[in-house]
C-alpha cells in the first residue's frame, strides 16, 4: 500500500488529528501529500463527515506551525552553515549581496510558495530563516498564503467531492507545470541576455 | 572569456531542461484535464470507505454495504483494505463486489429498497 493510500485511509478513520499532523509535518519539510489530504477533507465536508470551519482552522494552524519550524531551523542551522561555507570559499561579500537581494523579494516568494508553487514551500522557509528575513513579515505572508491555499484546496475538494484522486492528479501536475514554466521563462530571459551580449 | 562561455552554455542547457520539464507537465495536465472531462467515476482503491465509493459513484450507500455483507447502520468508516482483512479475503474481491453492485443498481435502480434513514441520497 502506498504512503498516500495509507494516509488517506488513516484520515478517513481518525479525521482531523491526522490532517493537522500531516500538514504540520509536511509544511516543515517532510514530503507528505498534504494537498491531497486537503482535497479529501473538502470531500469529507461535502459528505457531512467533517465540519468546514474545523477543517479550515486546523489545517491552516498546522501548516503555519510547520512553516515556523522550517524558518527556525533555517535561522539557526542554515545561517551558521552559510557563514562557514562563505569563509571556506572566501565569498562573504557575495553572500551579503545575495542575502540583500533575497530579503527584498522574499515576501512575494513566501506568499506564492504557500499556495501556487507549493513544492518550493519548505525550501523558502529554510532560506527565509537562513537569510534572517524579518520574522513578523514572514509570519504575515505565511498566514495569508496558507489561508489562501487551505481555503482554495478544501473548497475545490468540496465542489468536486466525488473525484478526489482525479482532482489531486490534475492539481499536482498543474503546479509542476507552472513551476517549470516560470523557471523556463526566467532562464530563457537570462540565456537571451547572455547570447545578445556576445 | 572562457568562463563566460561556460556560464552561457550552462544557462542555455538549464533553460532547455526547464522547458522540457514544463512541456512534460503541461502535457500531463492536459491529459488529466481530458480524462477529467470524460470520466466521472473514480477507480475504486483500498483507501476508500464504502461511503466515499457510494458518493463518488452516486449510489445509495445501503446498496454497497449490503453488497459486501455489512450492516448499513451504524456507518462504517473503515477503508476497504481493513474490511477485506476482517472478511479474510483480498481487497480485489471486495472491489469486484462493489463494482457489480454499482452496475446492477445503475441498470435497475427500481429493484433496490429505499435508502436507510441517516444516509444522504447521492
What secondary structure, in 3-state letters, does chain B show?
Answer: CHHHHHHHHHHHHHHHHHHHHHHHHHHHHHHHHHHHHHCCCCCCCCCCEHHHHHHHHCCCHHHHHHHCCCCCCCCCCCEHHHHHHHCCCCHHHHHHHHHHHHHHHHHCHHHCCCCCCCCCCC
Q: Is the pLDDT of residue A192 over 50?
A: yes
Verify whether the Cβ–Cβ distance A177 to B25 is below 8 Å.
yes
Q: Is the pLDDT of residue A42 over 90?
A: yes
A chain contacts of residue B79, beta-carbon cutoff 8 Å: 8-9, 12-13
Q: Is A3 on the interface with B (CB under 8 A)?
A: no
> Rounded mean pLDDT of chain A?
89
Lowest mean pLDDT among A88-102, A116-130, B40-54, B67-81: A88-102
To the nearest 10°, the Cα dihedral for A194, B1, B5, B6? -130
> Does the bond joining B74 to the residue before it have cis omega, within 30 degrees of 0?
yes
A chain contacts of residue B4, beta-carbon cutoff 8 Å: 194
User: Which one is predicted more confidently, B113 or A56?
Assistant: A56
Which letter, b or e, does each residue of B41-69 get, where b requires 16 or more Cβ atoms within 10 Å of its Cβ? ebebbbbbbbbbbbbbbebbbbbbbbbbe
| Per-residue pLDDT band at B68 (split at 50, 70, 90) | very high
Domain tally for chain A?
Answer: 1
Longest pairwise C-alpha distance within chain A: 64
Portion of chain B with pLDDT greater than 70, in percent: 89
Minimal Cβ distance to A194: which of B8, B18, B36: B8
Longest pairwise C-alpha distance within chain B: 82
Q: Find the length of chain B.
A: 122
Alpha helices in A33-163 (DSSP H): 34-46, 52-73, 79-89, 92-115, 121-130, 135-159
Minimal Cβ distance to B42: which of A163, A170, A198: A163
Distance between CA atoms of A42 and A50, rounded to whole angstroms?
Answer: 8
Question: The domain containing residue A189 runs over which residues?
Answer: 3-197
Verify whether the Cβ–Cβ distance B26 to A194 is below 8 Å.
no
| Residue A57: alpha-carbon gap to chain centroid | 17
Verify whether the Cβ–Cβ distance B19 to A188 is below 8 Å.
yes
State which residue of chain A sits closest to B36, comparing Cα positions. A166
Distance between CA atoms of B80 and B48, rounded to whole angstroms?
Answer: 6
Question: What angle, 0 to 180 degrees and rounded to 10, lies between the N-to-C axes of helices B50-57 and A34-46?
Answer: 70
Minimal CA separation from A159 to chain B, in Å:
12
B chain contacts of residue A48, beta-carbon cutoff 8 Å: 120
Q: What is the mean pLDDT of residues A133-137?
A: 93
Q: Is the pLDDT of residue A6 over 50?
A: yes
Q: Is B24 on the interface with A (CB under 8 A)?
A: yes
- What kind and span of H or E run contains A12? helix A3-14
Q: What is the pLDDT of residue B1?
A: 47
DSSP-based three-state secondary structure for A164: helix
- Residue A135's contacts (CB-CB under 8 Å, 6 or more residues apart) are A71
Minimal Cβ distance to B33: which of A4, A48, A170: A170
A chain contacts of residue B37, beta-carbon cutoff 8 Å: none
Q: Is the pLDDT of residue A129 over 80?
A: yes
Whole-prediction pTM value? 0.86
- Residue B113's contacts (CB-CB under 8 Å, 6 or more residues apart) are B62
Instruction: Return the bridge partners of B107, or none.
Output: none
Q: Is A6 on the interface with B (CB under 8 A)?
A: yes
> Which residue matches cell numbers 475538494?
A157
Amino acid at each position: 500500500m502506498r504512503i498516500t493510500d495509507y494516509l488517506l485511509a488513516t484520515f478517513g478513520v481518525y479525521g482531523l488529528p491526522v490532517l493537522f499532523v500531516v500538514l504540520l509535518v509536511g509544511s516543515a519539510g517532510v514530503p507528505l501529500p498534504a494537498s491531497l489530504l486537503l482535497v479529501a477533507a473538502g470531500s469529507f465536508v461535502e459528505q457531512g463527515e467533517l465540519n468546514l470551519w474545523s477543517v479550515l482552522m486546523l489545517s491552516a494552524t498546522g501548516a503555519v506551525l510547520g512553516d515556523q519550524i522550517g524558518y527556525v531551523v533555517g535561522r539557526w542551522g542554515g545561517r551558521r552553515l552559510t557563514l562557514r561555507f562563505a569563509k571556506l570559499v572566501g565569498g562573504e561579500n557575495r553572500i551579503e549581496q545575495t542575502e540583500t537581494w533575497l530579503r527584498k523579494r522574499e515576501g512575494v516568494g513566501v506568499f506564492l510558495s504557500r499556495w501556487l508553487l507549493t513544492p518550493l514551500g519548505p525550501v523558502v522557509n529554510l532560506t527565509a530563516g537562513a537569510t534572517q528575513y524579518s520574522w513578523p513579515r514572514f509570519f504575515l505572508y505565511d498566514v495569508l498564503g496558507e489561508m489562501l491555499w487551505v481555503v482554495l484546496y478544501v473548497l475545490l475538494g468540496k465542489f468536486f467531492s466525488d473525484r478526489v484522486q482525479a482532482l489531486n492528479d490534475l492539481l499536482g501536475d498543474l503546479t509542476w507545470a507552472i513551476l517549470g514554466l516560470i523557471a523556463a521563462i526566467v532562464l530563457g530571459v537570462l540565456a537571451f541576455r547572455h547570447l545578445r551580449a556576445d | 572569456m572562457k568562463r563566460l562561455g561556460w556560464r552561457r552554455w550552462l544557462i542555455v542547457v538549464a533553460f532547455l531542461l526547464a522547458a522540457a520539464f514544463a512541456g512534460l507537465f503541461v502535457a500531463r495536465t492536459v491529459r488529466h484535464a481530458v480524462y477529467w472531462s470524460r470520466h466521472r467515476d473514480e477507480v475504486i482503491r483500498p483507501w476508500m470507505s464504502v461511503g466515499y465509493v457510494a458518493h463518488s459513484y452516486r449510489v445509495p450507500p445501503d446498496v454497497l454495504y449490503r453488497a459486501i455483507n455489512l450492516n448499513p447502520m451504524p456507518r462504517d468508516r473503515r477503508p476497504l483494505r481493513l474490511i477485506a482483512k476482517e472478511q479474510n479475503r483480498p481487497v480485489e474481491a471486495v472491489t469486484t463486489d462493489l463494482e457489480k453492485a454499482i452496475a446492477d443498481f445503475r441498470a435497475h435502480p427500481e429493484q433496490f429498497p429505499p435508502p436507510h434513514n441517516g444516509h444522504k441520497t447521492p
